[in-house]
Structure 1
Amino acid sequence: MTWKSPFIAFLALTVAAPAMALPPPEDQPEEVARTEIITEARSPIDNKPLNAAEYAALQAQLQEGQPVNLRDQVSPQVRRTIGLLRLRRFIKTVFPFIPIR
């Protein structure tokens, strides 16, 4: 009876599927994804589709530190809402006991 327990454990370990931790074969390896050339991209500012030349120009502009005019892209209502939220945060910081919702 004592020889059955190790034999059954050995049998269970060898019969189990050995490749359960491997990714599915249709997954692209990370090494291939890193060398892939990006021909289509999206703007990090407004998420509009860009071609490779426009994306490279935008990245160069952002890295050089040239200001990108975001005020023209935000509507006045959103700008006002952001201003009110900043005012609310300031009031709650200075006067935390005032119940502002």
Structure 2
Amino acid sequence: MKPGILFTISLSIGLTIAKPALSLPPPEDTPEEILRTEIILEARSPIDGKPLTAAEYAELEAKIAERGTPPQVSADIQHTIFLLRLLKLIRTITPL
């Protein structure tokens, strides 16, 4: 057989077996535009990850803002963070 005929036969078989794609999402799926405008009433604490209400979260954010200075980190931990960031940079340049 000629290669063109074989291609035509395989293409026609593939098109008859292939299932049509659905272009619309399922009806129970909430549109992204609605999800973007949704007001989030639950939050998590940035300190320990516990669930908070909106009022508790606002109060915690105000306390953190009042503190002003960031918490002090020991020199050993700062050095470890620096090494981890350096390792991450090296891995992006030379992936293994």
* TM-score bracket, shorter-length normalisation: 0.3 to 0.5
Report the structure, 1 or 2, having the larger helix content. Answer: 2
TM-score after normalising by structure 2? 0.44
